[in-house]
Structure 1
Amino acid sequence: MTGAADLSIWLALGAGMLSFLSPCTLPIFPAYLSYITGVSVKELQGSKDVKIRSKLLVHSVFFLIGVSLVFIGLGVGVSFLGSWIQGLMTGASGVLLQRVAGIFIIVMGLFVGGWLNIGAFMKEKRMKVTKKPVGYLGTIFVGVGFAAGWTPCIGPIFASILFLAASNPGQGTLYTIMYVIGFALPFLILTFFIGSSRWIVRYSGIIMKVGGVVMIIMGVLLFTGQLTRISEVLLDLVEDTWLGNLG
């Protein structure tokens, strides 16, 4: 399972990036920065002041801490649940959980790509805070509220990671950590280059379709049990290429 786990870790990282670059998150990204820092969107996108950028980055880090508390906490809880279920059942339960996770990821891939409409995931359940609490603690609170809401884009993607964590409890926490890192990297990069987010928004729909296809392929491989074999082939290919270059 090592090869499969390695591939799943990279997929979890990509899932985090996909969540941030989705049409549900990226377009409102400047508004969130404005809300947590108190700086207007127009000033954010036009300013090159070092102090403002430093303020943006510091608040972004605290916002992501709040996001991480929720996402990683859920990952740890689901991993324990998956381990408990596998402990109660026979050895076949691991295969059963993987197949269930595979089916769920396929369905979510169809939804993320826009080929399937699921009403329950179209409803946003974000916490509404009219006035942000003062300081960095308040920014953490906003991050917790953001992560606690199941948006039409983030919900299905993160739910797929949770199903993956339940099917492989030993790596479940790591999957959610990698998901958070994947979400945080583009968040921090675009915070520094805030004016660059506009052109990415234009292609967010295409990004989601590509991400949906990847999720479907991942689900099929997980359901059929081919994920380990594919991972081993890729690992051997990388090792042969690396050793060949050294030689």
Structure 2
Amino acid sequence: MNPVADITLWLALGAGTLSFLSPCTLPLFPAYLSYITGMTVKEIQGSQEIKVRRKLLIHASLFILGVSLIFISLGVGVSLLGQWVQGLLSGQSGVFLQRIAGLFIIIMGLFVAGLIQWKGLMKERRFHFTKKPVGYIGTVFVGMGFAAGWTPCIGPIFASILVIAGSDPTMGAVYTITYVIGFAIPFFLLTFFLGSTKWLVTYSQKIMKIGGGIMVVMGLLLFTGQLARISNILLRFVQDSWFSNLG
């Protein structure tokens, strides 16, 4: 794997985590967890029984499965589209798509940081269930409904990952899977430490601004072609440090 792909994987992982910690997801997390398990927030916070913990883990896993089915399907679809586009264009298609991806990420980063507004992205298209479908299968459908929505925070971040997937079709599915992992890690952690969401919500706006700033920097590096150069410098630094420690 080349150094650029390594950095992009970390970016995708961070993007997934940022999506979960966004102000339009994190504050709703307790309600979602209560909805898919059929338990009250107090019951989830207070119970230490193994039976309850197992129930939480199963529902959380099935919810993430539903999210994954939608996100990964989109990632694979965009990768195939990117591969087709590259086939139509000349040998410089990789550079062209890279610059388009960089420009798009810059715009989305400014949006995530709150520096620009885009009414089309501010519309929420998430599915709303008046009543949860019965059983564990119902939790999968709720996860799919959540992922199929386009919220003001998740939409721009995930769209950036899709654009990267389209510009690098060979790694597109991997980037999308990494994004899902980044989303799943805090989801599982906070499932068992629900009380921690309170202080995280307080800082979610600041987290988004920092994340948006990082997206802008990565977009600039991608657009100017400097990402590969910086990746090689970091790789050489890590290799030199590793060999020096061995010596």
The TM tier, using the shorter chain, reads: over 0.9
Q: Distance in 1 between matches of 2:206 and 2:50?
A: 34
Name the residue aligned to 2:121.
121
RMSD: 1.0
Specify the alignment match of 1:159 in structure 2: 159
Name the amino acid aligned to 2:29. F
Q: Does 1:193 align with 2:193?
A: yes
**What letter is aligned with 1:100?**
I
Determine the C-alpha separation between the residues in 2 that align with 1:128 and 1:202. 26
Counterpart amino acid of residue 173 in structure 2:
T
Residue in 1 that maps onto 2:51: 51
- Please give the residue correspondences for 1:33-52 in structure 2 after superposition, counting only pairs within 5 Å: 33-52=33-52
Unaligned runs of 5+ in 1: none
- What do the CA deviations read for 1:119-165 (whole angstroms, capped 9, x no partner)? 11111000111111111110000000000000000000000000001
1: CA distance, partners of 2:52 / 2:92: 55
Whether contact under 8 Å (1:101, 1:167) holds in the other structure is yes
SS across alignment from 2:170? helix
Within-5 A mapping of 1:209-224: 209-224=209-224
After superposition, the C-alpha distances for 1:148-183 in whole angstroms (9 at most, x for unaligned) are 000000000000000001111111110000000000
Amino acid at match of 1:120: G
User: Paired residue for 2:68?
Assistant: 68
Alignment partners' CA distance in 2, 1:212 and 1:129: 31
- 1:75-123 deviation line (CA, Å, top 9, x unaligned): 0000000000000110112111111111110000001011111111111
Residues matched between the structures, number: 247
Residue 243 of structure 1: aligned partner: 243
- Paired with 1:30 and 1:108, the residues of 2 have a C-alpha distance of 27
The 1-side partners of 2:5 and 2:40 are apart by 43
Give the ranges of 4+ consecutive aligned residues of structure 1 lying more than 3 Å apart after TM superposition.
Answer: none
> Which residue of 2 is the match for residue 90 of structure 1?
90
Residue identity opposite 2:3 in structure 1: G
**8 Å contact kept, 1:46–1:195:** no
Q: Which moved more, 1:12-21 or 1:48-57?
A: 48-57
Q: Which residue of 2 aligns with 1:111?
A: 111
Structure 2 Cα separation of the partners of residues 45 and 229 of structure 1: 48
1:47 Cα deviation from its structure 2 partner: 2.8
The percentage of aligned residue pairs carrying the same residue is: 66
Give the structure-2-normalised TM-score: 0.98
